[in-house]
Structure 1
Amino acid sequence: MRIRFFSAQKYDRQFFDAANQHFGFTLDYLESPLNAQTARLAEGADAVCAFVNDTLDAECLQALKQQGIQFIALRCAGFNQVDLGEARRLALPVVRVPAYSPEAVAEHTLALMLTLNRHTHRAFNRVRESNFQLNGLLGFNLHGRSVGLIGTGQIGLATARILKGFGCRLLAHDPYENPAFTALGGIYVPLEKLYAESDVISLHCPLTPENHHLINGYAISRMKRGVMLVNTSRGGLVDTAAAIAALKSGQMGYLALDVYEQEGDVFFRDLSDEILPDDQLSRLMTFPNVLITGHQGFFTAEALAQIAEVTLGNLQQLQQGLVCEQELTCKL
């Protein structure tokens, strides 16, 4: 099988080449994102491997089918970028990596919380300039605080375990309650109660049409004044304009983002020599109480190794005509 990778980075080559030693596929790597305009670059391949910010809409999928593509592999958990209905109509199986080292994202979530709370990023820059004053660096104890988790799948649960160690009160909202969360002492509550009682709110759910802009102006207005919001899940869960307004008013006290709703044109690229075209992202970066990372929550050696292994394993199962548990189209 020849697999063509889109949006490929140096680390993709490193980990997929290592995993491929016992699969024996032919791997081609392209830096170009996958969309309707670039789908022609898949010519000659049997499968394509796409990432979180590629756009596999109906037009792209049709073009891939015309190029003779048989399988689509996502090397990520999210699949909101894929028109699954069109994929099914075209008989194009789509597989993903639903769980890869959930501790990687959970630990990054806590890193964002702690950095933003204790201002270690600002302190680092101050000390490098021989400024050892503490003014403006005041934080709060996480111990005893209420943390609301929206989503208690594997990543949400891994985050809850860490927070339990910090001595936090754990609240959660999820349509599918996880017994492992309640075993930690966590309590499931309606969203309104979670908003009203949480000092910190962390998002750990997939993006669907139903929860797009789940965190909007109304939701923020129901939260505690000065709340900390952390999103390491999907950018479209947060209405950026509403978040900016809440930061300006002080209703939102802290915002940490590893994902952003318009990240496709920005993240995973070096724009240091260019003028940032996104006005909302530029505005967010002017706030001292906002911390943004470029979708790196998954970026550990353990997670990348697992992503490569599962992705190639998924494609091997499809090639052999076996039932693949990670196939999305069969679950519609």
Structure 2
Amino acid sequence: MRVAVFGSKPYDQAFLSAANQALGEAGHDLHYFHVRLNRETWELAKGFEAVCVFVNDELTAPVLASLASHGLRFVALRCAGFNNVDLKMADQLGISVVRVPAYSPESVAEHAVGLMLTLSRKYHRAFQRVRDGNFALQGLLGFNFHGRTAGLIGLGKIGLATARILKGLGMRVIGFDQVFSEAAKAIGIEPVSLETLYADSDVISLHCPLTRDTFHLINEYSLAQMRRGVMLINTSRGGLIDTAAVIAALKSEQLGYLGLDVYEQEGDLFFEDLSDKVIADDAFERLLTFPNVLITGHQGFFTEEALGSIAEVTLRNLVQLGQGEACPNLLGSDYLA
């Protein structure tokens, strides 16, 4: 199968090429494009049966219609989220969309906890102080996680992996999800309402998909329900958080700590080297001025284990589609909004 791989970085190419080689005769004809797929770049995919895309590629209705008119049959997401794909239009056009629902949940969970510990114990600030010869401890006071309460919103594989780590730190873990699974119960997560989770949590971590219902889940109203000085972590999707509301909560000190691996407008920023550019996003620049805010550039998934799994599952999905086999990672009608 001829596959146009968009938004591909050197690491994508390395892992995808290795996984493709392992498929032997079932492998694909992969063509790598550094640019993202959108209205301006879709013509690069003319003549391809499939496109392989990531979180910031834009598969809107017009893009999908244009691709379908030139023979595109398959969209392979090399990620779990699919909010950047118009699934209704894909379904109408007969385009099959597949994803990687679980590549290495521990990679994102460990990153989320790393953000938590760094914010509390101020490792990033201590590192720079020591490099400057400053060994004073003033301003580096943290807090124990042991004995405190963590609230997890979203109890899928990543949420559960995060819960296991936090339980190991001696935290009480409470959680909210539309369906409270037996696996969540087995870990010892306490099911609560969102209102209770907001009120009782010292640390809140987001692990839910971005949908119409969860867009700006964290807003002025929900922030007001939280404990003063709460820590908020988001390694899921940027659109879960209303950035303006969070900035206001940081200024009033209602929000004590903020750790982000995703950002609502990250499509214009993340995965690129902009060190010699002026960043025009005023909200993002404002966030960077707070000493209690830590932002990483969507790297929670970025481990050897995760990239290897993503490549293998993505290409196997395409093999199954190409051979007319049932694919368990197909986004069917049950995912349509």
Q: TM-score range by the shorter chain?
A: over 0.9
- What SS does the aligned partner of 1:132 have? coil
Letter in 1 for 2:10: K
Equivalence for 1:71:
74
Counterpart for residue 3 of structure 1: 3
Distance 2:331 2:242 in 1: 27
Give distance in 1, aligned partners of 2:146 and 2:182: 23
SS at match of 2:128: helix
Within 5 A, what are the aligned runs for 1:253-292?
253-292=256-295
Q: Does 1:18 align with 2:23?
A: no
- TM-score scaled by length of structure 2: 0.97
* 83-92 or 181-190, which deviates more: 181-190
Q: Tell me, in whole angstroms, the C-alpha distance in 2 between the residues paired with 1:67 and 1:143.
A: 57
Q: Deviations over 1:180-220 (max 9, x none)?
A: 22222210100000000000000000000111000000000
Q: Deviation at 1:67?
A: 2.2
Alignment partners' CA distance in 1, 2:250 and 2:181: 33
**2:200 matched to 1:214?**
no
Distance 2:73 2:297 in 1: 32
Aligned length: 332
What SS class does the counterpart of residue 102 from structure 2 fall into?
Answer: coil
Cα distance in structure 2, aligned partners of 1:280 and 1:330: 37
Secondary structure in structure 2 of the residue aligned to 1:282: helix
Among 217, 225, 228, which residue is 2:231 paired with? 228
- Aligned-pair distance for 1:44? 2.3
Structure 1 pair 35–329 and aligned structure 2 pair: CA distance change class (3 A): farther
Measure the CA separation in 2 of the matches of 1:168 and 1:110. 12
Distance 2:166 2:142 in 1: 17
Task: Find the partner of 2:147 among 133, 141, 144.
Answer: 144
* Aligned partner letter, 1:175: Q
Provide the secondary structure at the position in 2 that maps to 1:245: helix
**Aligned-partner residue type, residue 18 of structure 1:** A
In 2, distance between residues paired with 1:44 and 1:85?
A: 23
Letter in 1 for 2:304: A
User: Where do 1:41-80 residues align within 5 Å?
Assistant: 41-80=44-83
Give the CA RMSD over aligned residues: 0.8
Partner secondary structure for residue 211 of structure 2:
coil
| Identity within the alignment, % | 62
Q: Which of 166, 188, 192 is the matching residue for 2:191?
A: 188
Measured in 2, the distance between the counterparts of 1:150 and 1:70 equals 35
C-alpha separation in 2, matches of 1:24 and 1:254: 46
Match of 1:164 in 2: 167
1:36 and 1:61 in contact (8 A); partners too:
no
Contact 1:147 1:168 in 2 (8 A): yes
Decide which of 320, 327, 331 is 2:330's aligned counterpart.
327
Q: CA deviation at 1:330?
A: 4.2
Distance 2:213 2:161 in 1: 25
1:6 touches 1:48 (CA, 8 Å); kept in 2? yes
Paired letter, 2:125: R
The partner residue of 1:238 within 238, 241, 248 is 241
8 A Cα contact 1:37 1:60, kept in partner: no
Residue 159 of structure 1 deviates from its aligned partner by 0.3
How many Å apart are 1:73 and its aligned residue? 0.3
Q: Does 1:84 align with 2:87?
A: yes
Per the normalisation by structure 1, the TM-score is 0.99
- Cα deviation for residue 43 of structure 1 reads 1.3
Letter in 2 for 1:19: A
Residue 89 of structure 2 aligns with an amino acid whose one-letter code is E
Q: Tell me, which stretches of 5 or more residues in structure 2 are unaligned?
A: none
Q: Which residue of the partner structure matches residue 36 of structure 1? A: 39
List per-residue Cα deviations over 1:264-293 (Å, max 9, x = no partner).
000000000001111100000000000000
Code of the aligned partner of 2:150: V
Letter in 2 for 1:93: S
1:112-153 per-residue CA deviation (whole Å, 9 max, x = no partner) reads: 000111000000011000011111111000000000000111
Q: Distance in 2 between matches of 1:24 and 1:237?
A: 37
What's the counterpart of residue 176 of structure 1? Answer: 179
Find the aligned partners of 1:177 and 1:289 in 2 and give their Cα distance: 32
* Whole-Å separation in 1 of the counterparts to 2:231 and 2:152: 12
